[in-house]
């Protein structure tokens, strides 16, 4: 029997998302999510997509090792376990690949050591990714495991965009530079946007706005990333669900010296208690819109700050690219929140941007244009699919090695 299945693992700091795909036709066989890992109220939700059956378990799951073993058990119950001879490979989302990894990479001890060396610049993400890799290798030592890096798509950024304006000797010693993240999504969405326009990716310039809980923008010139809004870590750039995005670095000195906060407290403040959540107590755009509709001023201000930052990046990437063929909205907010798209594009007619209110209001799962027919620059909604992209890259690499 040919091995044509790929299991994709996306380990976040407190979650594990997974999908099992059959790469003959990219069909999804199973998918699920373990949330609140490390808490008493962890939850595993598993769906067997071939039948639609969903199972849910709550109760403590101590760490990513236990989470992956629980997932393996659920897959086993559906006859889709990790011991299946049909499994060709496991593809891991690895958030930080530094400068070293520019391509999907078959994981060996050397690769693991390098991902480990990058922990200081990705303390929230790489440890969880490593646990997922180690547990998966222990469960199936014979199976190829592939790392697909969030940073890889951004390694084409020129030095002028990737470097911070600090002493290069200090920067190089501590690996301080702008790496960018969500690269798998930016790559996939920029390509799908070109396809929507009936063009080859090498023929178009696209601004991709990945607006999920984490959010980032990228400027993609003829298929290559030339700038992105996240930096050394996923804290820089846009206002996010719980992250501040850009701020004057002196705010940190001030909070330490005058606010009497420790570095760990400031880290938690900026990563977990800022952004939309810090501004108004909610990080879900649905809830924020509901509150705005009820006249809530705090929620309205949070929304305005979010939109103001987003507009600044759209403008900046017009300047970086010179000419823009399309602006593409993606991820949870970008794909679903019509009011965010409307507010982000409003007032940008000078850049050739406009929306059709009718098209913007359409709810659909496919890539679609939401700009009027005669618009100078296309505006699109393009659903991202990081799992499919990781599975495709994993399978392509493993096929080559077989
Ligand atoms: N129907 C919707 N309307 C508005 N916002 C939505 C909707 N569905 C999801 N979202 C937003 O998308 C976010 C999650 O996006 P997602 O891309 O799944 O994030 P992540 O992968 O970072 O967890 C939610 O926090 C919420 O703000
Ligand atoms: C890198 C990053 O921010 O990822 P996420 O959006 O999954 O938190
Ligand atoms: Mg995401």
**pLDDT tens digits along 247-290:** 999 999 999 999 999 999 999 999 999 999 999 999 999 999 99
> What's the confidence (pLDDT) of residue 400?
59
Structural contact between residues 145 and 137, judged by C-beta atoms closer than 8 angstroms: yes
> What's the confidence (pLDDT) of residue 402?
55
Same fold yes or no, 5-149 and 198-386: yes
Catalytic residue, from 65, 108, 150, 304: name it. 150
45 phi and psi angles, rounded to 5 deg:
-120, 120
Query: For the segment 80-135, what is each residue's pLDDT rounded down to a tens digit?
Result: 999 999 999 999 999 999 998 999 999 999 999 999 999 988 887 899 999 999 99
> What's the confidence (pLDDT) of residue 1?
64
Domain ranges of the chain: 5-149, 198-386
Is 265 known to sit in a ligand binding site? Answer: no
Question: Is the alpha carbon torsion for 327, 330, 334, 338 positive or negative?
Answer: positive
What residue owns the CA closest to ligand 2's atom 3?
214
> What's the confidence (pLDDT) of residue 90?
97
> Is any atom of ligand 1 closer than 6 Å to the C-beta of 286?
yes
The CATH number of domain 5-149, selected from 3.40.50.150, 3.50.50.60, 3.30.420.40, 3.40.50.10890: 3.30.420.40
**Which of 160, 139, 86 lies closest to 395, judged by CA?**
86
Q: What is the arithmetic mean of pLDDT over 357-386?
A: 96
Q: Across all residues in the chain, what is the average pLDDT?
A: 95
d(CA 101, CA 95): 11
C-alpha to C-alpha distances, 118 to 128, 129, 149, 151, 343, nearest whole angstrom: 13, 12, 12, 12, 38
Residue 317, Ramachandran bin (φ over 0: left; ψ between -120 and 50: alpha; else beta)? alpha
Question: Closest ligand to 330 CA?
Answer: 1
Is 150 catalytic? The answer is yes
Structural contact between residues 231 and 182, judged by C-beta atoms closer than 8 angstroms: no
Is 80 known to sit in a ligand binding site? Answer: no
Cα dihedral: 44, 49, 51, 53 (round 10): 20
Query: For the segment 62-92, what is each residue's pLDDT rounded down to a tens digit?
Result: 999 999 999 999 999 999 999 999 999 999 9
Ligand 2 atom nearest 150 alpha carbon = 1
Q: What is the arithmetic mean of pLDDT over 214-234?
A: 97
Distance 218 CA to ligand 3 centre (A): 15
Q: Does domain 198-386 have CATH number 3.30.420.40?
A: yes
> What's the confidence (pLDDT) of residue 120?
87
């Amino acid at each position: 029997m040919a091995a044509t299945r790929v299991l994709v693992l996306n380990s976040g700091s407190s979650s594990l998302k997974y999908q099992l795909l059959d790469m003959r036709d990219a069909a999804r066989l199973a998918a699920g999510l373990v949330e609140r890992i490390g808490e008493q109220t962890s939850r595993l939700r598993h769906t067997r997509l071939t039948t639609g059956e969903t199972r849910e378990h709550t109760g403590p799951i101590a760490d990513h090792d236990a989470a992956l073993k629980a997932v393996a058990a659920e897959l086993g119950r559906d006859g889709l376990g990790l011991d299946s001879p049909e499994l060709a490979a496991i593809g891991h989302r690895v958030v930080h690949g530094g400068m070293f990894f520019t391509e999907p990479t078959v994981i060996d001890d050397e690769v693991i050591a390098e991902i480990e060396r990058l922990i200081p610049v990705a303390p929230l993400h790489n440890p969880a990714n490593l646990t997922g890799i180690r547990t998966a290798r222990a469960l199936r030592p014979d199976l190829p495991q592939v790392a697909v890096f969030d940073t890889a798509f951004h390694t084409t950024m020129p030095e002028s965009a990737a470097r911070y304006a600090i002493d290069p000797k200090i920067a190089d010693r501590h690996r301080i530079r702008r790496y960018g993240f969500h690269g798998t999504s930016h790559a996939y969405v920029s390509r799908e946007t070109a396809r929507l326009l009936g063009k080859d990716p090498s023929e178009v310039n696209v601004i991709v706005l990945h607006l999920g809980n984490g959010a980032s923008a990228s400027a993609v010139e003829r298929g290559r990333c030339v700038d992105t809004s996240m930096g050394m870590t996923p804290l820089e750039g846009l206002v996010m669900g719980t992250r501040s995005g850009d701020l004057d670095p002196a705010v940190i000195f001030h909070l330490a010296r005058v606010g009497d906060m420790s570095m760990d407290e400031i880290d938690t403040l900026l990563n977990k208690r800022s952004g939309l959540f810090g501004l108004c107590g909610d990080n879900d755009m649905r809830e924020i819109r509901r509150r705005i509709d009820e006249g809530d001023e705090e929620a309205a201000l949070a929304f305005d700050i979010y939109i103001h930052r987003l507009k600044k990046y759209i403008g900046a990437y017009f300047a970086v690219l010179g000419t823009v063929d399309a602006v593409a909205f993606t991820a949870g907010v970008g794909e679903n929140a019509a009011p965010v798209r409307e507010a982000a594009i409003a007032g940008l007619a000078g850049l050739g941007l406009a929306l059709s209110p009718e098209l913007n209001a359409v709810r659909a799962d496919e890539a679609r244009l939401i700009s009027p027919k005669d618009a100078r620059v296309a505006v699109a909604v393009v659903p991202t699919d990081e799992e499919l992209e990781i599975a495709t890259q994993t399978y392509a690499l493993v096929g080559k090695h077989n």
